[in-house]
Structure 1
Amino acid sequence: MMPDDYDVELANNIIYDPWTGDFFRTLRSGYRRGMPVKAGYVNSRGYFVIRFKNRVIQAHRVAWFIYYGLWPGGIIDHANGDKLDNRIGNLRIATPTQNNANMKAKGNKLKGSTFIRRIGKWQAQVKCDGKTHYLGLFDSEADAHKAYIRAATKLFGSFARPA
């Protein structure tokens, strides 16, 4: 499949540094002509995005396109969980389940554990491909979390994030 004009222009006007994850655009006019200037900004969801030809594109997708020469077919996951770290070594294709498994825990709660007040125990569970896997009841949040980590590592491999 031949790239369209937009893809060619993007690749010719945006410079991507795969080692730092930075993006630059080359100025075509003015007194600083030919000097690269930083491109992009952080959007309201905390992702670095690039505006090009009246389109706003997530920078991690632009990085993938520039580095590999094709647009990613699915979700791009930030392996270390940092939405702003667009180094190519930190980006990987993921399924929705893998991407969710790599999300950070919300608040100060340990991932995979829920306190069941009526029985005074901690329940552990993990969700994979839309199915909830019940892991048991535990006396402490830490024990429930350990059960979650074991199951998540088995189900998600390198996408499992303990915290």
Structure 2
Amino acid sequence: MKALRSDLTFSYLSECFHLDADRGVLIWKVRPVEHFASRRAMTFFNNHRAGTVAGTVKTDEGRARAVVQLNRQCVFVHRVIYALHHSIDIDDVPDVIDHEDRDTLKNRPGNLREATPTQNNFNRILPLGRSGVRGVTYQPKFKTWRARVKKGGREINLGSFPTKEEAGAAWKAAAETIHGEFFAIQAAEA
């Protein structure tokens, strides 16, 4: 049986997995024969997989994520956990799920939250650039430090400052205001 994505309902997912919310993992359950093409396939699966942690880690573009194969479909584990935790079908899971601590392998329900693409992108560690401070550049012509922040794809100039530290503080204050709970600061910027 090949299930379409829309067939991955909350009920179906609940028949497949037990959610260990404390560890943020899925445990395979003993699945019914209706999930398989034959009784033999069901027996094999249940004898070898039931009671084990579901999924494997795949790395894509430098990001490691846990995925699970379900009815010949590869589904991100964090999406299944979100669906089970919120008692919703997989199709009703928001398009973007953010990992609050930025670790894509920590899938505890408390670490997953709905986000916009912009919020999700802001909650990641980015290169600091030549100045060593995010959002700050040196203006040699004026011998000042310029602070800029982005909001909704538009750049906002925060002004020029005599020191890199003042420009960095201005950027940090503006970024915290604009991005709220999704604001992520690097240890070097703290």
TM-score (ref. length: structure 2): 0.72
Change (3 A) 1:35 1:61: closer
CA distance, structure 2, for counterparts of residue 99 and residue 34 of structure 1 = 34
Q: Which residue of 1 aligns with 2:81?
A: 63
For structure 2, list consecutive stretches of 5 or more residues without a partner in the other structure. Answer: 31-41
Aligned length in residues: 161
State which of 167, 174, 187 in structure 2 corresponds to 1:144.
167
C-alpha distance in 1 between matches for 2:94 and 2:70: 20
Deviation at 1:140, TM superposition (A): 4.3
Query: C-alpha separation between the residues in 2 aligned to 1:51 and 1:121?
Result: 54
| d(CA) in 2 for partners of 1:150, 1:110 | 13
Instruction: Indicate the residue corresponding to 1:39 in structure 2.
Output: 54
Q: Distance in 2 between matches of 1:11 and 1:76?
A: 20
Distance 1:24 1:134, change over 3 A: same
Q: Percent identity?
A: 29
SS across alignment from 2:110:
helix
Aligned counterpart in structure 2 of residue 74 of structure 1, from 87, 95, 101: 95
- Give 1:1-163 correspondences, 5 Å limit: 5-7=7-9, 8-27=11-30, 29-30=43-44, 32=47, 35-44=50-59, 45-70=63-88, 71-106=92-127, 109-116=132-139, 121-163=144-186
Could you tell me whether the CA contact under 8 Å between 2:28 and 2:49 is conserved in 1? no
Contact 1:64 1:88 in 2 (8 A): yes
Q: CA RMSD in A?
A: 2.6
Over 3 Å counting, the alpha-carbon distance change for 1:154 and 1:113 in structure 2 is same
The residue identity in structure 1 corresponding to 2:82 is W
Contact 1:104-1:161 within 8 A present in 2 as well: yes
- Cα 1:127/1:14, change in 2 over 3 Å: same
Answer with 1 or 2: which has the greater Rg. Answer: 2
Higher strand share: 1
Alpha carbons of 1:139 and 1:32: their partners in 2 closer, same or farther (altered >3 Å)? Answer: farther
Residue 100 of structure 1 aligns to which amino acid in structure 2?
Answer: N
Task: Give, in whole Å, the separation in 1 of the partners of 2:103 and 2:53.
Answer: 20
CA distance in 2, matches of 1:49, 1:138: 47
Q: Is the 8 A contact 1:111 1:162 kept in 2?
A: no
Higher helix share: 2
Q: Counterpart of 2:56 in structure 1: which amino acid?
A: Y
